Chain A
Amino acid sequence: MTLAAASPASPGAAGCGEPAVAKERGQREVFCGLTGIVWLHRKIQDAFFLVVGSRTCAHLLQSAAGVMIFAEPRFATAIIEERDLAGLADANEALEQIVGTLLARRPDIRMLFLVGSCPSEVIKLDLAEAARRLTRRHLPQVRVLHYSGSGIETTFTEGEDACLAALVPELPAARDDAPALMVVGALAEVVEDQFRRLFAAMGIGPVGFLPPRLSTDLPAVGPGTRFLMAQPFLAGTARALEARGARLVPAPFPLGAEGTTLWLRAAADDWGVTPRAFHEATAFGEQRARRALSARRERLHGLRVGFFPDSQLEVPLARFLARELGMVPTEIGTPYLHRDHMAPEVALLPPGTRIVEGQHVENQLDRFRAERPDLTVCGLGLANPLEAEGLATKWSIELVFSPIQGYEQAGDLAELFVRPLARRARLEV
């Protein structure tokens, strides 16, 4: 449980292409994958997420969803009780009954996800079999899929990865080998529409999005499909897409003016878009983004920023803050670092940046207390206690729920980091 060799990158390296990645094990102050349901159910508008778990799981969703819990959300928990633990046959029957009730009450639902949890995994409840059985019963109205969002298998955003990976076998096969682009990862609708317009302006198409807004609009996949990851936490989904013949277009993630341009350019180069057409499509957006960032740069330039692990967005965010706003990353914690997917990002980090994969929260707190970065990005369990110790914090979960990708959101993204510092500067009590 000790931090192994957190040595900085070799001095003089242009970036940290050979990054100093330390691994750490111990207590993790992170969410489990069930939390992904909170934004996924907003995205796929005709899907329902039924967690098969304990009262703890229901309590977690309630705490994570906040006020959303009162808006007739399309998720719920089938709480395992003592009598379900006695024999597995009963649990399956009970589950079928609950799904029957649920679907009768919500006839608008077209896709149902049975979401595994720690308790359901430990008692080895076979949700795959349950999903098959329920699909047979409820087709053609409803398709029943399953994935695990358990804490023993998934950290926070990995819940989305597990969900999308479960969707991949459902994607229709492309009719031919004609090129098509797929953007993978849930994005806010406003961001998705901006990207759609940019691809159209470059002449790239057809463009599909995974997940789609409706479960009946699943994008097709085939050997002509190339996919661009809009989120960094989708290792399993990428593997599943590759298994169906699709090809990954490596790129940094579309955060900030530079990140968005590099991301779009990766697609454009792969598609054979001319530099001129690319410039015409993106120049205005990029300029606008840089304009929106310039004012924030004055506030953030030279300040040190550290990240606690949370969503796997930490490395791309640190890259954005370092290169476009002049911040100095101290420690970048991340729950998991996919070496290949993250390579374009890591290459852009300033030399000497320290990446820590995994977590021993107490040791990490000790390091942050010693280093005292000007801004600490962390979860809500740590934020107020660190503020009380005099460290400025930015709570990280907002970075997952807010539209932050693309040119038009670059300024908003920077603002999320400016605000806590501006607030501290204003307060006189």
Chain B
Amino acid sequence: MQLAVWTYEGPPHVGAMRVATAMEGLHYVLHAPQGDTYADLLFTMIERRHRRPPVTYTTFQARDLGGDTAELLKAAALDAVARFRPQALLVGASCTAELIQDDPGGLARTLGLPVPVVPIELPSYQRKENWGAAETLYRLVRAFAQPRSTPRGDRPTCNILGPTALGFRHRDDLVEIRGLLARLGVDVNVVAPLGATPADLARLGEADFNVVLYPETAGVAAEWLARTFDQKATTVVPIGVGATRDFIAEVAGLASIDARPILAAETSRLPWYSRSVDSNYLTGKRVFVFGDATHAIAAARVAAKELAFEVVGLGTYSREQARDVRAAARDLGLEALISDDYLAVEAAIAAAQPELVLGTQMERHIAKKLGIPCAVISAPVHVQDFPARHSPQMGFEGANVLFDTWVHPLMMGLEEHLLRMFRDDFEFHDEAGASHLGAAPAPVPVPVAVEAVRWAQDAESELRKIPFFVRGKARRNTEAFAAERGLATITLETLYDAKAHFAR
């Protein structure tokens, strides 16, 4: 058993949901107890999706455990196909259903459904969310992808693999990479899983090569495509200026085109911003980096080579990609932290004493607790990191976003620090006034002692029970209410009379 308050990743069936929700024309029948539908709200609330995820849960309860849970699964599968008319059905179990051993995939196959059934086995007690997403995409690709049936055309083509639902900035990264590939003269054949149908997956073989944006979710599928259809895949994740240039060179190599014109033409503002004298103070800032492997490795490179920070810690919760992170850490003279225990991460951050933390939602809170500036670079993230504005991490625009996002908390931290430092300085203290105008500080008027309304003890303590963010308003309203009525003392009754009054 492992004690956990925070978890960096959900269970593997949530990864399968991320793939199913990203796609069109696919429905997921999930053998799961009542309550597992909580995962729907990750998609409807955090990512603000317009539609419910395409998932039917069997919602078995204790009284069903006697033996008809298999029947529930069959009924749910039949219902889902009749109602949603998907091109294909994904069938699997959540952690509890794994224990009751109904074999959802096998059961669904006996139903003679008019659509293909793809069973997925996700070991919930060993693996986690990203593994579940990768395995699901791999199973789907295996089930549907066909070899190339048309001859290679004049223009090079590729697939883009990896973007999912609930992916950190996947939506905008895809826009950037599509633009970049178009300017390179490379056509996009299929993007998967985001926006793809099972029929689209069948066409994967038509492309010349694959662009892997997120190895966590697409690595396994890309390896299978390389083995089976001889499609090579990109290995560089284009986050940061240097990595984007390397990515362009890699794509040009795979597409047999000349990268020089586009490398000469494409620019980011990051290099100039980083060279401008204003950024001098960033030199050698100590930064701690933690996240999924892809984003942590990319962030470490940007931090060290494009912003001239000193990386003092690098780690990931992605055990599957631990080797890559260890290698990246070694290059920086560090030992990687591979852990999904936030307490270990907190201890490492406290020990490294960084001036900036780049991490997930969890590190944001650790940093807040320790009083260190922080920026978010990786999932898991909360609703504010699925922004309305265009904010990719990848490509040249992504580099601009990284510069702004990472430098902003440092500026804020610096501003706050300066204000605090000078608060008691003779020139900056509260009563000093605007000295550069040569005017003598105006004497601060002593407030005339007004007959203040008195708060009775019980009313005062009742007021303290009101949440702090509305307490000020409640106090003002009540005092105004009392003053209007000439009351000298605010009692409990006055407090609630005022509340009812202002409710009108």
Q: Which residues of A approach B to under 8 Å, CB–CB?
A: 1, 26-35, 52, 54-56, 58-60, 62-64, 67, 69-70, 73, 75-82, 84-85, 91, 94-95, 98, 101-102, 118-119, 121-123, 150-153, 155, 189-190, 193, 197, 284-285, 288-289, 291-292, 294-296, 362, 379-385, 388, 407-408, 411, 415
B56 adjacent to chain A (CB < 8 Å): yes
Contact B496 A119 (CB under 8 A): no
5 sampled A-B residue pairs with Cβ under 8 A: A27-B59, A82-B126, A291-B504, A292-B500, A408-B500
Contact B1 A84 (CB under 8 A): yes
Contact A79 B4 (CB under 8 A): yes
B415 adjacent to chain A (CB < 8 Å): no
Contact B34 A380 (CB under 8 A): no
- In the assembled complex, the CB of A20 is this many whole angstroms from the nearest CB of chain B, namely 24
Contact B44 A383 (CB under 8 A): yes
Give the contacts of B198-218 with A (CB-CB under 8 A): none
Known: A31-B35, A55-B7, A85-B125. A79 touches B2 (CB 8 A): yes
Contact A152 B4 (CB under 8 A): no
Please, how many angstroms separate the alpha-carbon atoms of A73 and B4 in the complex? 12
Q: Which residues of B approach A to under 8 Å, CB–CB?
A: 1-7, 9-11, 13-14, 33-42, 44-45, 48-52, 56-62, 64-65, 75-76, 79, 83, 94-96, 99-100, 123-126, 128, 362, 365, 382, 462, 465-466, 492-493, 496-497, 499-501, 503-504
Contact B465 A54 (CB under 8 A): no
In this complex, what residue of B is CB-closest to A153?
B62
Known: A150-B33, A385-B50. A101 touches B3 (CB 8 A): yes
Q: Nearest 7 CB-CB pairs, A to B?
A: A32-B35, A151-B35, A381-B40, A388-B50, A118-B96, A54-B95, A94-B1
Please, how many angstroms separate the alpha-carbon atoms of A81 and B123 in the complex? 10
Please, how many angstroms separate the alpha-carbon atoms of A292 and B123 in the complex? 54
A101 to chain B: which residues have CB within 8 Å? 3
In this complex, what residue of B is CB-closest to A52?
B1
- In the assembled complex, the CB of B17 is this many whole angstroms from the nearest CB of chain A, namely 12
B49 to chain A: which residues have CB within 8 Å? 384-385
A150 to chain B: which residues have CB within 8 Å? 33, 35, 62
Contact B34 A152 (CB under 8 A): yes
B76 to chain A: which residues have CB within 8 Å? 27
Contact B33 A118 (CB under 8 A): yes
Known: A56-B11, A56-B94, A384-B49. A69 touches B56 (CB 8 A): no
Known: A1-B75, A94-B1. A380 touches B44 (CB 8 A): yes
A26 to chain B: which residues have CB within 8 Å? 59, 79
In this complex, what residue of A is CB-closest to B40?
A381
B7 to chain A: which residues have CB within 8 Å? 55, 58-59, 62
Please, how many angstroms separate the alpha-carbon atoms of A55 and B52 in the complex? 23
Q: Which of B13, B36, B64 has the most CB of A within 10 A?
A: B36
Contact A292 B33 (CB under 8 A): no
A29 to chain B: which residues have CB within 8 Å? 37, 40
- In the assembled complex, the CB of B430 is this many whole angstroms from the nearest CB of chain A, namely 33
Known: A152-B96, A292-B499, A381-B44. A76 touches B4 (CB 8 A): yes
Contact B10 A415 (CB under 8 A): no
A62 to chain B: which residues have CB within 8 Å? 6-7
- In the assembled complex, the CB of A199 is this many whole angstroms from the nearest CB of chain B, namely 15
Known: A78-B1, A408-B496. A28 touches B34 (CB 8 A): yes
Please, how many angstroms separate the alpha-carbon atoms of A383 and B48 in the complex? 10
Known: A29-B37, A122-B96. A76 touches B500 (CB 8 A): no
Please, how many angstroms separate the alpha-carbon atoms of A27 and B86 in the complex? 18
- In the assembled complex, the CB of B361 is this many whole angstroms from the nearest CB of chain A, namely 9
Please, how many angstroms separate the alpha-carbon atoms of A19 and B294 in the complex? 58
In this complex, what residue of A is CB-closest to B34?
A151
B4 to chain A: which residues have CB within 8 Å? 55, 58, 76-79
Known: A55-B11, A56-B36, A79-B2. A1 touches B125 (CB 8 A): no
B10 to chain A: which residues have CB within 8 Å? 55-56, 59
Q: Which of A81, A155, A193, A382 contacts B34 (CB 8 A)?
A: A155
A33 to chain B: which residues have CB within 8 Å? 35
In this complex, what residue of A is CB-closest to B83?
A362
Please, how many angstroms separate the alpha-carbon atoms of A73 and B75 in the complex? 40
B56 to chain A: which residues have CB within 8 Å? 27
Contact B35 A27 (CB under 8 A): no
Contact A34 B35 (CB under 8 A): yes
Contact B37 A381 (CB under 8 A): yes
B1 to chain A: which residues have CB within 8 Å? 52, 78-81, 84, 91, 94-95, 98
Contact B58 A27 (CB under 8 A): yes
- In the assembled complex, the CB of B103 is this many whole angstroms from the nearest CB of chain A, namely 16
Q: Which of B3, B6, B64, B493 contacts A102 (CB 8 A)?
A: B3
B52 to chain A: which residues have CB within 8 Å? 381-382, 385
Q: Which of B2, B50, B79, B365 contacts A1 (CB 8 A)?
A: B79
- In the assembled complex, the CB of B82 is this many whole angstroms from the nearest CB of chain A, namely 10
In this complex, what residue of B is CB-closest to A148?
B62
Contact B99 A384 (CB under 8 A): no
- In the assembled complex, the CB of B34 is this many whole angstroms from the nearest CB of chain A, namely 4
Known: A78-B3, A79-B2, A362-B83. A388 touches B51 (CB 8 A): yes
Known: A28-B34, A56-B13. 16 other contacts (CB 8 A): A1-B75, A27-B56, A30-B37, A32-B36, A55-B7, A80-B1, A80-B125, A81-B125, A82-B123, A98-B3, A118-B35, A151-B61, A151-B96, A152-B60, A295-B504, A385-B49
In this complex, what residue of A is CB-closest to B497?
A288
Q: Which of B94, B125, B462 contacts A193 (CB 8 A)?
A: B462
Known: A31-B38, A34-B35, A151-B35. A123 touches B3 (CB 8 A): no
Please, how many angstroms separate the alpha-carbon atoms of A382 and B126 in the complex? 31
- In the assembled complex, the CB of B65 is this many whole angstroms from the nearest CB of chain A, namely 7
B465 to chain A: which residues have CB within 8 Å? 189-190, 193
Please, how many angstroms separate the alpha-carbon atoms of A284 and B123 in the complex? 61
Contact A385 B75 (CB under 8 A): no
Contact B500 A30 (CB under 8 A): no
Please, how many angstroms separate the alpha-carbon atoms of A166 and B50 in the complex? 41
A82 to chain B: which residues have CB within 8 Å? 123, 125-126
Contact A411 B62 (CB under 8 A): no
- In the assembled complex, the CB of B380 is this many whole angstroms from the nearest CB of chain A, namely 9
- In the assembled complex, the CB of A85 is this many whole angstroms from the nearest CB of chain B, namely 6
Contact A30 B44 (CB under 8 A): no
In this complex, what residue of A is CB-closest to B364?
A70
Please, how many angstroms separate the alpha-carbon atoms of A64 and B10 in the complex? 13
- In the assembled complex, the CB of B219 is this many whole angstroms from the nearest CB of chain A, namely 21
B499 to chain A: which residues have CB within 8 Å? 292, 408, 411
Contact B6 A69 (CB under 8 A): yes
B79 to chain A: which residues have CB within 8 Å? 1, 26, 362
- In the assembled complex, the CB of A282 is this many whole angstroms from the nearest CB of chain B, namely 13
Q: Which of B41, B50, B61, B125 contacts A152 (CB 8 A)?
A: B61
Contact A27 B61 (CB under 8 A): no
Contact A54 B462 (CB under 8 A): no
Q: Which of B41, B59, B466, B501 contacts A379 (CB 8 A)?
A: B41
Contact B44 A384 (CB under 8 A): yes
Contact A76 B58 (CB under 8 A): no
In this complex, what residue of B is CB-closest to A289?
B500
In this complex, what residue of B is CB-closest to A91?
B1
- In the assembled complex, the CB of A261 is this many whole angstroms from the nearest CB of chain B, namely 16
- In the assembled complex, the CB of B111 is this many whole angstroms from the nearest CB of chain A, namely 16
Q: Which of A55, A78, A122, A151 has the most CB of B within 10 A?
A: A55
In this complex, what residue of B is CB-closest to A123?
B99
- In the assembled complex, the CB of A150 is this many whole angstroms from the nearest CB of chain B, namely 7
A94 to chain B: which residues have CB within 8 Å? 1
A381 to chain B: which residues have CB within 8 Å? 37-38, 40-41, 44, 52
Contact B33 A152 (CB under 8 A): yes
Please, how many angstroms separate the alpha-carbon atoms of A155 and B57 in the complex? 15
Contact B65 A284 (CB under 8 A): no
Known: A81-B125, A291-B500. A28 touches B51 (CB 8 A): no
In this complex, what residue of B is CB-closest to A335?
B34
Contact B40 A73 (CB under 8 A): no
In this complex, what residue of A is CB-closest to B56?
A27
